[in-house]
């Protein structure tokens, strides 16, 4: 483990992802529980070891607490010492759990979630239809909110459409090669394929945009001390941070306010890790759309504003590139599972650090970057992981 | 739809935003203006985002502004909306902005910084909405 910061006394010791599909014949509660138990099994632990939970309770039934982490005490059959009901998933859930463990509020926490039996075939997911009265009345959707940001970028910098499309194609080709991906075997894709796909909300075409699928993901965190006695090589949390810019999907996001969203969180995270973005071996970035990928490289300072598409074309984002990116196929092609999507990024980063990521494995991964959310959502978060 | 039906909610009863919608129903665009610091803001919030004062009122707007950003939606979130349509974030001259539609204009002709003026239209649920139309129609 690294230095003396409290976060460095915590490790990720178990990870799991269930099967992923456009629709699964089970419930969100069952698939979430399966992911949690699988991650505990991966960690060499059982539900009896859990005293902290960050997980939405999808029902049916439950208490007045929302999103409902405390409800899981009922299913785990034991009282919990810590729950997280702010954002019980992904980077914020993991950072909150790590802080709670470091502070001694609990010892072993599981962060998990997903969805099943809720996606109705061709319709868009509920959570992509903001219900605010100043958004819904115009027929907006989350893709359109992000598009309003991307359009200003496009207007100012006119990125090469081929290079932008090549980013989506590369991520989708990682998914094509990943047997666990919803879109496994559906490629390979070229930039031309992306540019030929139907327009959804300018500048986004269908293949620029993430999936809305079913499945669940989970991670288990405990003290670095306990981690030494567990079967998996521990994954260290080297740094992290979050930014909550505004209410989500209420006002339209403004390019001039949100294109750099996450820069402050990233700066704090890298300072804590005593690393720089150039040290990252694998990027598991929140890829709700192609422009968001470019935005995050610019936000990290790896290239200047407006330079992302050219920069990534030169650097390479495949396994053998300078910046291997979304090695499981990402939200574009592996899976995006509602309340489990952000956690999938941590699962893949942990596997990369363990060296068990399968066809997407980048040799000798020592530092992985995980991000969540993005400009259109008006919040962003980052976490740097390393070998424990 | 031709107009509000019995099932259409009375938006003027909504907390915080009722007065905005009541004005829209009269064909008037209003926005919150802080009585203490003079800040224009939108969406309506219970307190001014600049000085946190709750002493604000709705004031009529010129309804004139410029397109900050726009996107043409080809796949609507529900079948109630007829695609394609142009969503836009319009900067109003008084210093506030809102999500809206650009109407009376070919989607391809909508551009960032285009000057626009409010024009009330009827949304798919029968309610009036403050859309915007270009001052100079490009054809």
Tens digits of residue pLDDT in A362-385 = 999 999 999 999 999 999 999 999
Closest CA to A332 of A175, A195, A123: A175
Tens digits of residue pLDDT in A328-352 = 999 999 999 999 999 999 999 999 9
Q: Where in chain B is the domain with CATH 2.40.50?
A: 62-139
CA distance B113 to chain A (A): 11
> Contact, A335 vs A20, CB < 8 A?
yes
Q: What is the distance between the alpha carbons of residues A99 and B6, in angstroms, rounded to a whole number?
A: 53
Predicted confidence (pLDDT) at residue A122 exceeds the cutoff of 70: no
pLDDT category of residue A131 using cuts at 50, 70 and 90? confident
Cβ-Cβ contacts under 8 Å, B69 against chain A? 148-149, 151-152, 155, 252, 254-255
Question: Tell me, what's the pLDDT at B6?
Answer: 54
Question: Tell me, what's the pLDDT at A368?
Answer: 98
> Contact, A370 vs A385, CB < 8 A?
yes
Tens digits of residue pLDDT in A268-299 = 999 999 999 999 999 999 999 999 999 999 99
Cβ-Cβ contacts under 8 Å, A148 against chain B? 69-71, 87-89
Cβ-Cβ contacts under 8 Å, B89 against chain A? 148, 252, 254
Question: Mapped to the 3 state alphabet, what secondary structure does chain A carry?
Answer: CCCCCHHHHEEEEEEEECCCECCCCCCHHHHHHHHHHHHHHHCCCCHHHCCEEECCCCCCCCCCCCCCHHHHHHHHCCCCCEECCCCCCHHHHHHHHHHHHHCCCCCCEEEEEEECCCCCCCCCCHHHCCCCCCCHHHCCCHHHHHHHHHHHHHHHHCCCHHHHHHHHHHHHHHHHHCCCCCCCCCCCCCHHHHHHCCEEECCEEHHHECCCCEEEEEEEEEEHHHHCCCCCCCEEEEEEEEEECCCCCCCCCCHHHHCCCCHHHHHHHHHHHCCCHHHCCEEECCCCEHHHHHHHHHHCCCCCCCCHHHHHHHHCCCCCCCCCECCCCHHHHHCCCHHHHHHHHHHHHHHHHHCCCHHHCCCCCCEEEEEEEEHHHCEEEEEEEEEC
pTM: 0.96
Question: Tell me, what's the pLDDT at A196?
Answer: 98
When pLDDT is averaged across residues A67-87 and rounded to a whole number, the result is 95
Q: Which residues pair with A126 in a beta bridge?
A: none
Q: What is the distance between the alpha carbons of residues A289 and A167, in angstroms, rounded to a whole number?
A: 10
Q: What is the distance between the alpha carbons of residues A301 and A277, in angstroms, rounded to a whole number?
A: 8
Question: Tell me, what's the pLDDT at B139?
Answer: 44
**A143-to-A120, A147, A165, A172, A206 alpha-carbon distances in Å:** 18, 6, 16, 18, 10
CA distance A143 to chain B (A): 9
Predicted confidence (pLDDT) at residue A215 exceeds the cutoff of 50: yes
HSE-CB at B121 with a 13 A cutoff on CA atoms is: 15
Predicted confidence (pLDDT) at residue A121 exceeds the cutoff of 90: no
Question: Tell me, what's the pLDDT at A1?
Answer: 46
Q: Which residues of chain B have pLDDT under 70?
A: 1-7, 137-139
Question: Tell me, what's the pLDDT at A271?
Answer: 98
Cβ-Cβ contacts under 8 Å, B98 against chain A? 134, 252
Predicted confidence (pLDDT) at residue A110 exceeds the cutoff of 80: yes
Q: Which residues pair with B120 in a beta bridge?
A: B130
Question: Tell me, what's the pLDDT at A129?
Answer: 78
pLDDT category of residue A2 using cuts at 50, 70 and 90? low
Q: What's the token pair of residue A290?
A: 């192609």
Chain centre to alpha carbon of residue A163: 23
Question: Tell me, what's the pLDDT at A128?
Answer: 75
> Chain A neighbours among B 48-107 (CB < 8 Å)?
68-78, 80-81, 85, 87-89, 97-101
Domain B9-60, second-level architecture: Single Sheet (2.20)
User: Which class in CATH covers the domain with range B62-139?
Assistant: mainly beta
Domains annotated on chain A, with CATH: 6-121+214-227 (3.40.47.10), 139-210+240-387 (3.40.47.10)
Tens digits of residue pLDDT in A186-206 = 999 999 999 999 999 999 999
Peptide bond into A256 cis (omega under 30): no
When pLDDT is averaged across residues A110-132 and rounded to a whole number, the result is 82
Cβ-Cβ contacts under 8 Å, B97 against chain A? 251-252, 254
Q: Do B17 and A133 touch (CB under 8 A)?
A: yes
Q: Do A202 and B72 touch (CB under 8 A)?
A: yes
Q: Which residue of A lies nearest to B126 if distances are taken between CA atoms?
A: A137
Question: Tell me, what's the pLDDT at A277?
Answer: 98
Q: Where in chain B is the domain with CATH 2.20.28?
A: 9-60
């Amino acid at each position: 483990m690294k230095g003396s910061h409290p976060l460095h006394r915590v490790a990720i010791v178990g990870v799991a992802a269930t099967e992923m599909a456009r629709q699964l014949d089970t419930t969100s509660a069952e698939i979430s529980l399966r992911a949690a138990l699988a991650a505990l099994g991966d960690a060499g632990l059982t539900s009896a070891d859990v005293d902290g939970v960050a997980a939405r309770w999808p029902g049916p039934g439950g208490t007045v607490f929302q999103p409902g982490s405390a409800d899981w005490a009922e299913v785990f059959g034991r009282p919990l010492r810590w729950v997280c009901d702010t954002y019980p998933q992904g980077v914020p859930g993991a950072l909150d759990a790590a802080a709670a463990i470091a502070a001694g509020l609990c010892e072993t926490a599981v962060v998990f979630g997903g969805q099943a039996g809720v996606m109705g075939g061709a319709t868009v997911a509920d959570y992509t239809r903001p219900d605010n009265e100043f958004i819904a009345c115009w027929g907006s959707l989350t893709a359109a909110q992000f598009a309003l940001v991307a359009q200003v970028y496009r207007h100012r910098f006119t990125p090469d459409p081929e290079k932008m499309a090549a980013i989506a194609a590369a991520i989708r080709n990682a998914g094509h090669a990943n047997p666990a991906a919803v879109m496994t075997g559906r490629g390979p894709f070229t930039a031309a394929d992306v540019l030929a796909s139907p327009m959804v909300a300018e500048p986004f075409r269908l293949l620029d945009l993430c999936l809305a699928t079913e499945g669940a993901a989970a991670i288990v965190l405990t003290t670095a001390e306990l981690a030494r006695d567990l079967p998996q090589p521990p994954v260290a949390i080297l740094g992290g941070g979050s930014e909550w810019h505004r209410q989500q999907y209420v006002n339209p996001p403004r390019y001039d306010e949100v294109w750099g969203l996450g820069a402050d969180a990233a700066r704090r995270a890298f300072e804590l890790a005593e690393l720089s973005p150039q040290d990252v071996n694998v990027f598991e970035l929140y890829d709700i759309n192609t422009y968001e990928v470019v935005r995050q490289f610019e936000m990290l300072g790896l290239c200047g504003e407006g330079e992302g598409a050219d920069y990534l074309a030169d650097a390479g984002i495949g396994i053998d590139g300078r910046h291997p990116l979304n090695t499981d196929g990402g939200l574009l092609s592996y899976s995006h599972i509602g309340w489990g999507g952000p956690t999938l990024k941590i699962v893949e980063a942990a596997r990369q650090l363990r060296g068990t990521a399968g066809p997407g494995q980048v040799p000798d991964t020592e530092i992985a970057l995980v991000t969540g959310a993005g400009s259109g959502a008006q919040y962003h978060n980052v976490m740097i992981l390393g070998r424990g | 739809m031709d107009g509000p039906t019995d099932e259409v909610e009375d938006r003027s009863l909504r907390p915080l935003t009722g007065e905005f919608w009541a004005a829209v129903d009269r064909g008037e665009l209003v926005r919150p203006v802080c009585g203490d610091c003079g800040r224009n803001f939108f969406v309506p919030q219970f307190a001014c985002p600049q000085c946190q004062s709750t002493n604000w009122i709705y004031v009529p707007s010129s309804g004139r502004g410029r397109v900050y950003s726009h996107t043409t939606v080809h796949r609507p979130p529900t079948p109630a909306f007829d695609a394609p349509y142009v969503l836009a974030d319009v900067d109003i001259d008084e210093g506030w902005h809102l999500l809206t539609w650009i109407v009376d204009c070919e989607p391809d002709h909508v551009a960032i910084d285009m000057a626009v003026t409010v024009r009330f239209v009827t949304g798919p649920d029968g309610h009036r909405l403050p859309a915007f139309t270009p001052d100079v129609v490009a054809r």
